[in-house]
Amino acid sequence: NETLRGDIDVETLRVTQVDDLGLGIVEAEDLPSVLYVEEGGMNYVGRYAKRMSAVYKSRVIKESKRSLASGQKWTIDGKEYAPDKVASFYLDVLKKQAEKYYNGEKIDSAVITIPANFHFQQQQETRNAAVLAGFDPDKVYMLPEPTAALIDFLNEEEKKTPEARRIDLSKGSKKLLVFDLGGGTCDVSILQVSENANKAFSITELSV
């Protein structure tokens, strides 16, 4: 499974969301993956939802990613919420924020990073969440989180002169062990990195 690198400009967008107290709007680079269903059916995701988990625990769903493909569902006010549906609320917010940032341009494609050990059904439910959020099913791509972390690292390496790089590939490819430490998880992948004829990095996943 080979990924060829090219020039990539990384930009982190700030996400508009309801603040912790539910009194105003804030912008932040993170969006907590927490859903709060208010009485009456109004849905909130992000900081306010995270805070409400300590107030109305029965109306809050969090850590739903771990339940993908498990068959688990949550019921709030008689309505069932499956993990992929919950995930779609987060992706919907991010999609709309990106479209707003790009002056209303429609965004129907996404690359979603996933745990390295996600099996086929978990990947399918992740894809379904993206489709529910409005992304084109043929334009949804998934990338193991350790691989994504290495791509980001190599992107910064590629901007440096060869002598300033922390990985020397002048004598051939290298095998790297990449750890991805998340919230209660640890993903490990073995990746091979080499340099192609155009001096760009090439990544091959050996084990995820």
Q: What is the pLDDT of residues 95-148, one digit of tens each?
A: 999 999 999 999 999 999 998 889 999 999 999 999 999 999 999 999 988 888
pLDDT tens-digit readout, 10-64: 788 999 999 999 999 999 999 999 999 999 889 999 999 999 999 999 999 999 9
- What pLDDT shows up at residue 3? 47
Tell me: pLDDT of 5 over 50.
Answer: no
Share of the chain above pLDDT 90, in %: 62
Spatial separation of the C-alpha atoms in residues 202 and 190, rounded to whole Å: 14
pLDDT in tens, 63-88: 999 999 999 999 999 999 999 999 99
Residue 8 has a pLDDT of 66
Indicate the pairing of strand 110-114 with strand 140-144. parallel
| Residue 9 in this model has a pLDDT that exceeds 80 | no
CB atoms within 10 A of CB 180: 19
pLDDT, averaged across the chain: 89
Mean local confidence (pLDDT), 164-193:
83
Torsion of CA 93, 83, 187, 4, to 10 degrees: -50
Q: Which pLDDT belongs to residue 7?
A: 60
Instruction: Kindly indicate the confidence band of residue 1, based on its pLDDT and cuts at 50, 70 and 90.
Output: very low
What is the per-residue pLDDT for 4? 46
What b-and-e string marks burial along 48-75, b requiring 16 or more CB atoms within 10 Å of the CB?
bbbbbbeeeeebbbbebbebbbeeeebe
Rounded Cα distance, 100 and 51, in Å:
26
Pairwise CA distance, residues 64 & 68, whole Å: 7
Q: In a 3-state reduction of DSSP, which class is residue 128?
A: helix
